[in-house]
């Protein structure tokens, strides 16, 4: 009796562990582009479950799996600027069944981990982008700020307080860029998470925040927040599928076509619209250009802000 | 009246067969992951998130939430029986729960933990039903300076935890604070003490540290010198498992205080059950007439933290559901589950989806009842774990801990961290240094530092911000009193002796 109890403990633990890594168990070394996909696909996400990058991919993966007629397993491997996720990608075989999600966040992490990330990224090739959105500027609706011009006026004294998530995030660097381009007298205040940023704006600890629309939707609908439209402010966020560089181009093309079809699904487009996202596929070239453009821009911002030492 | 009608609607929805079934599945799964050391609610909920996409929003949320609070019930069981916490918040339950088990009162300790969790949960759910929107508005107005003072109070209380001298306690708190500085600095983005190890850029993993210090260290201790557990714990008759009336009279007050502290801490985004459990344990020690007895198997030391951690988990739904502000990563996943269904939690949710809000709230209470009813008959089974020979038990526990710690971030680095802190914990125990203050220093270090720096950034470096804000000022005042009390009471003790 006592042993069977222990066994059940061990079993339960293994079931949990198994669930998280079941796709690793199924490894097929044969490579047949004609029958692809003949088993479930696996996408490794370098972020925790629940963020906008994760949610947008899960929605798209759902539509894509209907298109391909195969299940898609999503694995969250957060941490260390995506190194953990990319290491798994590197160890997976180049058979077109394992993919990794990269995003604008990766273009920043490349500069933060110059020794570890570039070698990992060199083994990859782009497939296509999935979701695009712009970060927005929000103010508390009780403040008389309606445009960037109002902020400049307000900003005479004391400095404007801009709330953003941790230093090194796209939001933080976008705020740095805004401060410079719009010539704002502003202090950036860093918070641990997007909900903390929202709470800070609600109690007016900060004057404005920069973050994704989806997290602010509830407060916006309640009339607690106001979105500020600023034509010269742009902080593009995107995520895209990448895979092993040696995966045959036929598979990549087929996947990109299926993804474009999947992203046309009406229910997906509705869900994306509600979250303020845009569904769009891209060619490999376009993605490469976007990546290097972002990498260059954010590196400059980081050096100017003193986050990164100029090399 | 309207609230009552809404509540009836909620119970009607929550008692629907489908919802009741997923609630049962959720809390049972939660109890199991709670019992298994190292496997936390976060990993399990993240794994179960995709399952909810195919469900309608209410059962999906009910199931995920059930795992979260079910784990609070389960995690006390291994703390009590084996001195190995099922998860970080249950580390406090080890302090008195395990000594109780060694005195042959394992059943009493487990029942106390269950009843306390139930009462704590119930109080927090009542607050959620009656005052959720008001409380959420109130909680969100706590500023960075207020957070700093509240966390500082917890830190001061930390030094008095565990057995041993206050000086040793303070050393451990500072060690914990130092460890918390490893990782990326929030304010400047630079890496601190990472020594070029990319895995350290996110800091030391809390589950790895907690399971190492408490779980692995305990296993090492038992491998070196096997301990005898009183034969009384093998008693099979129900009588000896149940708390006596005297026990009840001892633990109902700590239980209420723990529930209150837990509800308060839970409402504040960014705190969590670990801090709630620590604070309530420290509180009991302060208000007790015999504080030196804590750590030797006092029933109050089990009741208070268990009531607090479950209350805080339930209270965390207050800002999550009414403002759309999730207090921790688990709540963020629950919100993602709703976002997938095009529901954005926020002030409008009560009006737009009253069925969802009230259904979930009702299911919480039903889930807590299920947990209480489900677990009490199992207590004899749990206690029978003590029959397993140490030669079988401890290697199996070690395996479970390693798998659990690995499952959080899926990196083998965390396993090394865990074993490293197991060795540290073993030597600290040998030298009579309490490890609980170290854990609390580690948990609080990040928030204390961040909020301190942020408050000064907001005030342009003006230190007076901490006394200008009334909440912050009152907590600082309490800290000063706490620090002065021992100094003031020394002459009094002297007089008594004289």
For B33-49, the pLDDT digits (tens) are 888 887 778 888 888 88
Residues of B in contact with A17 (CB under 8 A): 403, 406-407
| Mean pLDDT of all residues belonging to chain B | 84
Question: DSSP letters of A127-194?
Answer: EEEEEEEE-EEEEETTS---SHHHHHHHTTSS-EEEEEESTTSHHHHHHHHHHHHTT--EEEEEESSH
Between strands A225-228 and A236-244, the pairing is unpaired
Length of chain B (residues): 498
Q: How far is CA B72 from CA A158, B66, B89, B271, in A?
A: 46, 10, 8, 16
- Looking at residues A226-252, what average pLDDT do you find? 86
B31 close to B375: Cβ distance less than 8 angstroms = yes
Angle between helices A104-112 and A284-304 (to 10 degrees): 50
Of A21, A50, A190, the CB nearest to B186: A190
Using the Cβ of A71 and the Cβ atoms of chain B, whether some distance falls under 8 Å is answered with no
Please report the pLDDT score of residue B26 as a whole number.
Answer: 93
For tokens 């895979």, what's the residue? A243
ipTM of the complex: 0.80
Q: Which two tokens stand for residue A141?
A: 């609706």
Q: Best of A195, A204, A272, A274 to disrupt the B interface by mutation (most B CBs within 10 Å)?
A: A195
What angle is formed at CA B45 by the lines to CA B41 and CA B51, rounded to 5 degrees? 155
Residue A67 CB coordination number (10 Å): 17
- pLDDT of B1 above 70: no
B66/B69 Cα distance (integer angstroms): 5
Length of chain A (residues): 311
Comparing CA positions, the residue from A136, A113, A108 lying closest to residue A236 is A136
Rg of chain B (C-alpha set): 22
Please report the pLDDT score of residue A179 as a whole number.
Answer: 86
Residues of B in contact with A83 (CB under 8 A): 198
Q: What are the pLDDT digits (tens) for B429-484?
A: 898 888 888 988 898 888 889 899 999 988 888 888 898 888 899 989 988 887 77
Using the Cβ of A218 and the Cβ atoms of chain B, whether some distance falls under 8 Å is answered with yes
Please report the pLDDT score of residue B491 as a whole number.
Answer: 55
- The answer to whether B340 contacts A50, with C-beta atoms less than 8 Å apart, is no
Residues of B in contact with A215 (CB under 8 A): 324
Please report the pLDDT score of residue A79 as a whole number.
Answer: 73
B83/B81 Cα distance (integer angstroms): 6
Q: Which residue of B has its CA nearest to A84?
A: B411
3-state class percentages of chain A: helix first, strand second, coil last, to nearest 5: 50, 20, 30
* pLDDT interval class at B228 (50, 70, 90): low
- pLDDT of A155 above 60: no
User: For residue B34, how far is the Cα from the chain centroid?
Assistant: 11
Q: What are the pLDDT digits (tens) for A96-153?
A: 889 999 988 888 888 888 888 888 888 888 989 889 888 899 999 998 888 877 776 6
B131/A70 Cα distance (integer angstroms): 47
Q: What are the pLDDT digits (tens) for B95-109?
A: 899 898 888 888 889
Of B33, B187, B324, the CB nearest to A219: B324
Beta bridge partners of A208: A139, A162
* pLDDT interval class at A3 (50, 70, 90): very low
Evaluate if pTM is beyond 0.90.
no
């Amino acid at each position: 009796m006592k042993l069977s109890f222990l066994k059940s403990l061990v079993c339960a633990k293994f079931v949990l562990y198994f669930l998280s890594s079941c796709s690793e168990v199924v490894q097929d070394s044969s490579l047949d582009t004609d029958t692809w996909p003949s088993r479930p696909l696996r996408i490794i996400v370098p972020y925790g479950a629940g963020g906008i990058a994760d949610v947008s991919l899960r929605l798209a993966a759902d539509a894509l799996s209907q298109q391909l007629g195969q299940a898609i397993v999503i694995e969250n491997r957060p941490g260390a600027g995506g190194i953990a996720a990319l290491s798994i990608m590197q160890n997976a075989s180049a058979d077109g069944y394992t993919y990794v999600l990269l995003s604008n966040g990766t273009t920043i992490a490349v500069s933060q981990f110059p020794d570890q990330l570039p070698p990992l990224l060199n083994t990859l090739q782009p497939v296509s982008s999935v979701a695009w959105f712009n970060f927005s500027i929000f103010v508390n609706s009780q403040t008389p700020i309606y445009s960037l011009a109002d902020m400049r006026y307000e900003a005479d004294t004391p400095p404007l307080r801009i709330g953003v998530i941790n230093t090194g995030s796209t939001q933080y660097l976008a705020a740095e860029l805004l401060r410079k381009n719009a010539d704002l007298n502003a202090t950036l205040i860093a918070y641990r998470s997007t909900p903390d940023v929202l709470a800070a704006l609600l109690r007016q600890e900060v004057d404005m925040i920069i973050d994704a629309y989806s997290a602010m939707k509830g407060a916006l609908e309640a009339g607690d927040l106001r979105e500020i439209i600023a034509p010269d402010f742009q902080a593009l966020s995107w995520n895209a599928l990448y895979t092993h560089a040696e995966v045959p181009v036929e598979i990549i093309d087929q996947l990109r076509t299926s993804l474009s079809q999947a992203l046309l699904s009406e229910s997906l487009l509705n869900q994306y619209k509600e979250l303020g996202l845009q569904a769009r596929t891209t060619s490999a070239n376009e993605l490469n250009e976007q990546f290097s453009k972002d990498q260059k821009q954010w590196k400059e911002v980081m050096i100017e802000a003193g986050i990164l030492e100029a090399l | 009246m309207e609230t009552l009608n809404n509540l009836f609607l909620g119970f009607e929805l929550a008692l629907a067969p489908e919802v009741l079934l997923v609630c049962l599945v959720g809390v049972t799964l939660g109890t199991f992951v709670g019992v298994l050391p190292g496997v936390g609610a976060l990993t399990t909920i993240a794994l179960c998130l995709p399952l909810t996409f195919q469900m309608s929003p209410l059962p999906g949320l009910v199931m995920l939430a059930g795992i979260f609070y079910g784990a609070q019930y389960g995690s006390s069981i291994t703390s009590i029986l084996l001195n190995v916490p099922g998860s970080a918040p249950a580390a406090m339950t080890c302090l008195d729960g395990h000594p109780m088990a060694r005195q042959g009162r394992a059943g009493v300790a487990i029942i106390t933990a269950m009843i306390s969790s139930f009462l704590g949960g119930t109080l927090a759910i009542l607050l959620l039903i009656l005052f959720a929107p008001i409380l959420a508005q109130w909680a969100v107005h706590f500023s960075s300076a207020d957070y700093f003072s509240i966390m500082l109070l917890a830190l001061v209380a930390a030094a008095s935890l565990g057995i041993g001298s206050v000086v040793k306690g303070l050393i451990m708190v500072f060690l914990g604070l130092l460890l918390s500085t490893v990782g990326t600095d929030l304010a400047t983005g630079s890496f601190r003490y990472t020594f070029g190890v990319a895995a350290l850029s996110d800091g030391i993993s809390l589950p790895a540290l907690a399971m190492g210090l408490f779980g692995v260290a305990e296993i090492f201790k038992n491998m070196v010198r096997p301990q005898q557990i009183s034969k009384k714990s093998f008693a099979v008759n129900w009588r000896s498992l149940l708390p006596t009336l005297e026990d009840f009279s001892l633990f109902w007050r700590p239980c209420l205080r723990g529930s209150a502290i837990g509800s308060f801490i839970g409402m504040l985004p960014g705190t969590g059950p670990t801090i709630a459990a620590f604070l309530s344990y420290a509180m009991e020690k302060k208000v007790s007439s015999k504080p030196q007895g804590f750590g030797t198997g006092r029933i109050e030391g089990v009741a208070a933290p268990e009531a607090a951690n479950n209350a805080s988990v339930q209270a965390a739904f207050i800002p999550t559901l009414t403002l759309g502000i999730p207090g921790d990563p688990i709540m963020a996943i629950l919100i993602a589950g709703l976002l997938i269904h095009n529901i954005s939690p926020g002030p409008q949710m009560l009006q737009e989806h009253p069925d969802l809000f009230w259904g979930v709230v009702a299911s919480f209470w039903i889930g807590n009842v299920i947990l209480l009813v489900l677990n009490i008959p199992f207590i004899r089974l749990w206690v029978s774990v003590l029959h397993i020979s140490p030669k079988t038990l401890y290697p199996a526990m070690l395996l479970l801990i390693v798998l659990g710690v690995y499952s959080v971030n899926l990196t083998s680095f965390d396993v090394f961290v865990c074993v490293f802190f197991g060795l540290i914990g073993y030597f600290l125990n040998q030298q009579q240094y309490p490890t609980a203050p170290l854990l609390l220093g580690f948990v609080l270090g990040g928030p204390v530092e961040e909020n301190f720096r942020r408050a000064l950034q907001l005030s342009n470096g003006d230190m007076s911000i901490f006394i200008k804000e009334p909440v912050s000022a009152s907590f600082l005042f309490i800290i000063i009193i706490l620090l002065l009390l021992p100094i003031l009471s020394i002459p009094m003790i002297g007089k008594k002796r004289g």
